[in-house]
Amino acid sequence: QQPVQSPQAVILREGEDAVINCSSSKALYSVHWYRQKHGEAPVFLMILLKGGEQKGHEKISASFNEKKQQSSLYLTASQLSYSGTYFCGTEMTYKLSFGAGTTVTVRA
């Protein structure tokens, strides 16, 4: 079952902050975050594992609440390069299910 993301879209000015939420009706072992720019492939941002471990490549932070089956991605002091569609994914037995995405537009 697909996770649910909110909001669907957000518009920011450079330097502003935003939060993207992801929730699941099923117990989560891990949450994955990807960003896809228009016309490009999704790019890995981070994985949050049950127990608190995080693996990521970018200076974008996230949280994972195992009890509430929720994750949030924090875009802090946003830059123009943060624009794109953000997808959260939940994994169960090798199957990664993505949400519908949150489109982020950062304006100068």
Partner 1 sequence: DAGVTQSPTHLIKTRGQQVTLRCSPKSGHDTVSWYQQALGQGPQFIFQYYEEEERQRGNFPDRFSGHQFPNYSSELNVNALLLGDSALYLCASSFPGAYSYEQYFGPGTRLTVT
Beta strand spans in the chain (E) = 4-6, 9-13, 18-23, 30-36, 43-49, 54-56, 61-65, 70-75, 84-92, 95-98, 102-107
Nearer to partner 1, 13 or 29 (CB): 29
**Angle at 48 (CA atoms; ends 79, 67), nearest 5 degrees:** 120
Binding site for partner 1 (CB under 8 A): 2, 29-30, 32, 34, 40-44, 47, 49, 55, 87, 91, 93-101
Tell me the closest approach of the beta carbon of residue 14 to partner 1, in angstroms.
Answer: 26
Nearer to partner 1, 6 or 15 (CB): 6
Tell me the closest approach of the beta carbon of residue 15 to partner 1, in angstroms.
Answer: 28
Nearer to partner 1, 34 or 82 (CB): 34
